[in-house]
Structure formats: structure tokens, C-alpha cells
Amino acid sequence: MLGVRSLRGGCRGREAVRIFSRMFQRLAPSGGRQLTVSSHMSSSAHPAPGVAEADVAEQSIESSSNYAHETRAVNSMARRQCPVWSHNEWDPLEEVIVGRVEGAMVPPFSTEVKANTYQYHWDFFEKNGGKAFPAKHLELAHEEVEEFVRILEAEGITVRRPEICDFSKEYVTPDFRSSGLYSAMPRDVLLVLGDEIIECPMAWRSRFFEFRAFRPLVREYFKQGARWTTPPKPLMNDELYEQNYPMDTVEDRHHLAAEGKFITTEYEPCFDAADFIRAGKDIFVQRSQVTNKFGIEWMRRHLGDRYRLHVLSFDDPNPMHIDATFNIIGPGLVLSNPDRPCHQIEHFKKAGWTIIKPPAPAMPDSHPLWMSSKWLSMNVLMLDPKRVVVDSNEVPTIKMFEKLGIECVKVSLRFANSLGGGFHCWTSDIRRRGILETYF
Ligand code: ARG
């Protein structure tokens, strides 16, 4: 999956090598070893139709001339003071988008929604698909999210919000009809890489137009100097979904996930932003129910030499969004879900990373989580490497952070969790102070 070959330079782990200082000191990569990391698709996986085998084969990414070129580019971008500027999940946060509860709708119960939800909620989806979530629940979620916003603002962070949209409107394309979902989870749709903001080609029909809620912000950021990318929009016709995907048993799904098969096919590229997680030059992605190999390949070619894209996989029968599975919270520091071991963890250990297994979530079974597992407990938002926003009810997780010397900003997000996300999902960081560095 993830090939690591040694050339020159040292394992950096927590001690990031500063590209800037390198440039200014005009140092050639120092003696010793330098990691060249390649990303390629699993050999058990079917290559996407139209994607040549050679394209998904191992590819060496870094070369020192590219490195110097990129360093200059980064430097000039930093000087421009772009409003969009974020390279990882933990540098000091300056501006963030927080999602909205207003207008949240239960998605129509289509195959891809069924494949991503738990059987004990199917009745709920069958009855409520296309209608609003229960009003009282939304009211409580709204209070929590607005309190979260006030707390971020009190920390001196600029908070931006999507438009209030009517997600109940039905839309018809030549290939399907649907109504919408929400603008609650900016992390799912917007991927920020340095000064670039990517509106991701999501895989759920109910999310086809979700980017519209964020368009006013993206237009504004573009005018202020950000780069704005929209990958090919999927048609989302029936060929994008595995019609015979077995829904009923977790064993079936485990089996299929292990073979690299999911509800989405390889008909056309699709990916959600939340299947990517950033650590400077190294970006990690998982093949999931909503991110296919074709989409990963599209991103790999799009990123070219600017980043190293690594495909990770986990023991997870139902992967969708990596941030409750493998949440990178600091330079060489990762929360790795103990129920979903990472198949490539040895590479992180070799690179000197600290791997933390977070404690079991404290969420009671009685609380409805319509669209996720309880592991939202580890779906935290770093304000800087030493401060984290964590759910005030998740006492074991709070204790874990305190032991790590990370100060906890405690906010309750229980009712907002029911819509499928924690603090990381409910946000998309637009600007973090810091530069592009190498940590892996
Ligand atoms: N699918 C994950 C789970 O059930 C939740 C991930 C939520 N993340 C997000 N960005 N919406 O554990």
C-alpha cells in the first residue's frame, strides 16, 4: 500500500525539518537518509476503469530540485498573506468555517446512505428521508454549535459560516433526483491544502449541491488570493453505486472492505474531503464508501510533486471519513482508533511518530447517532499543538489529553454529534499560522 524507500535525510518524526530554514541556509538535504515515500494502490484492488495500471503503480515523488522549487513557491505564497493558508491539523488556528444546523434534512434513503448507516436506524431513515431532522433535537444541536462558535471567537479565532440554504428542495439531474442534506460538516466538502481550497466531488446524491452553501465564502477567498479548485463533478448515475452491495451483515462488509470493495464503484472519480488528513508535505487518504480509487488517483495527479499522497487502510467494515479513525493532532502525533487498527502503522512508528490509542467513547447507547459511530469522541479540533476542543462529556478523552500536556477547551456537542460529526467535522480550517513542513 504505502511504500517507503530510503534515500537521504533522517526520520524526522516530531522534529520537523523547516523548509524555510533549509532554503535560507541553502542547505542541500543533509547527510544520512531522506525519506522518499510513494503512494500506490493495493494490488488486490481493481484499478479504476480508464486508469492505466502504470498510473496506479508505485511512484517516487520527491526530488531535491522539486523540493527547492516548492520551497520557493511556498515562501512567495506565505509572503502574499493568503487568507487561505493551512498545512496541517494543529498549527495555531486563525480562521475557521463552522457548519450550520439550520436547514438540516434527513437524506432520502438511497443505497449509498443505506450502506453508510447502521441497521437499527434504517426505520428512522425510511420514515424521515427527505424530511427535517426532529425539531427539538435540531434546536439543542443549534444551541451547542452556536456556543462552540462563541468559544472559538473568544479564543480570538475568526469564524465564518455557510449560507442558510433550503435543503428540502428536490433537484433533478439527467441521472437522478434527490433532495439535500445540510451544511453542517464543512470538513466533508472543503479540502484546504496550503493556499488552495478544493470543493470535493462528493459521492452522496443528497450532497451533490452541498458546495453551494459555501460558495459565497469561496468566491471571497478566491478574490483575496486563494486558489479555487473543483475536480470533475460526478454524474452520480446508477453505475457509481454497487447495486448488489450486501447491506445486512457486518461480516459481509468486513470481508468486502478487506478486498477493497465498497458501495461506490470505480465508474468515475469521487471523494469527500474528510477522507484526507494533512501533515504538511504528507497527505493521507483512505479508500472509503465515498472516496474511490479513481478519486484518489485524480488527487494524486492533481497534487503532482507538491505533496506526497499516501493511501492508508484500516480494519473498518464501513469506512467513511478518516477523522474518527486516524486523527493527526500534532507533528508526529496521531490518535489511532483502537477498534480500527491501521494496516500501515509500522511506517509511522519507523518515522518516529507517537501513536495514541484513545479511550472508549463515553456516549451512552441511548443517544441517537443517526450517521456515525460513537468515535466522534476522538474527532477533536486542535486550536494549536497544546490546545484542543474536546467534548465536555468525554471525560476519559479529556484525561488522555491532560496526560499528554494538552489543554482542553471543553464544549458539549452531543446533539450536534447526532448529525454525523464532532468538532473536526463541524469545521474546516481556513487559516493556520505556519508553513509547509515535513513530518513523516
Ligand atoms: N464515519 C465515522 C464514524 O462513524 C465518522 C466520521 C465523521 N467525520 C466527518 N468528517 N463527518 O466513526
**In tens digits, what is the pLDDT along the chain, a chain of 440 residues?**
343 333 333 333 433 434 333 333 332 223 222 333 333 333 333 333 333 333 333 333 333 445 445 555 554 555 457 999 999 999 999 999 999 999 999 999 999 999 888 888 999 999 999 999 999 999 999 999 999 999 999 999 999 999 999 999 999 999 999 999 999 999 999 999 999 999 999 999 999 999 999 999 999 999 999 999 999 999 999 999 998 888 777 777 778 888 888 999 999 999 999 999 999 999 999 999 999 999 999 999 999 999 999 999 999 988 999 999 999 999 999 999 999 999 999 999 999 999 999 999 999 999 999 999 999 999 999 999 999 999 999 999 999 999 999 999 999 999 999 999 999 999 999 999 999 999 99
**Is the CB of 290 within 6 Å of ligand 1?**
no
Distance 16 CA to ligand 1 centre (A): 29
Which residues, in sequence order, are bridge partners of residue 226?
A: none
Residues 91, 188, 195, 272: which is the catalytic one? 272
Angle made by CA atoms 171, 173, 179, in degrees to the nearest 5 = 25
Closest CA to 216 of 176, 177, 253, 183: 183
**Is the CB of 425 within 6 Å of ligand 1?**
yes
**Is the CB of 187 within 6 Å of ligand 1?**
yes
Angle made by CA atoms 133, 138, 139, in degrees to the nearest 5 = 145
d(CA 323, CA 313): 13
Closest CA to 307 of 19, 18, 61, 6: 61
Q: How many Cα atoms sit within 13 Å of 307 on the Cβ side?
A: 25
Is domain 10-27+42-47+62-438 given the CATH code 3.75.10.10 in the classification? Answer: yes
d(CA 389, CA 371): 21
Question: Active-site residue 123, yes or no?
Answer: no
- Contact call for residues 316 and 325 (beta carbons, < 8 A): yes
Q: Of all atoms in ligand 1, which is nearest to the CA of residue 372?
A: 4
Angle made by CA atoms 413, 418, 420, in degrees to the nearest 5 = 100
Distance 203 CA to ligand 1 centre (A): 15
Which residues, in sequence order, are bridge partners of residue 192?
A: 197
247 phi and psi angles, rounded to 5 deg: -100, -25
- Contact call for residues 385 and 404 (beta carbons, < 8 A): no
Residue minimizing CA distance to atom 1 of ligand 1: 320
Q: Of all atoms in ligand 1, which is nearest to the CA of residue 272?
A: 10
Distance 28 CA to ligand 1 centre (A): 41
Candidate from 89, 210, 320 with most ligand 1 atoms within 8 A of CB, to mutate: 320
Distance 421 CA to ligand 1 centre (A): 6
d(CA 336, CA 326): 5
Q: Beta strands 93-98 and 158-160: pairing type?
A: parallel
> Could you tell me the three cell numbers for 434?
505556519
d(CA 430, CA 351): 28
**Is the CB of 416 within 6 Å of ligand 1?**
no
Q: Of all atoms in ligand 1, which is nearest to the CA of residue 273?
A: 10
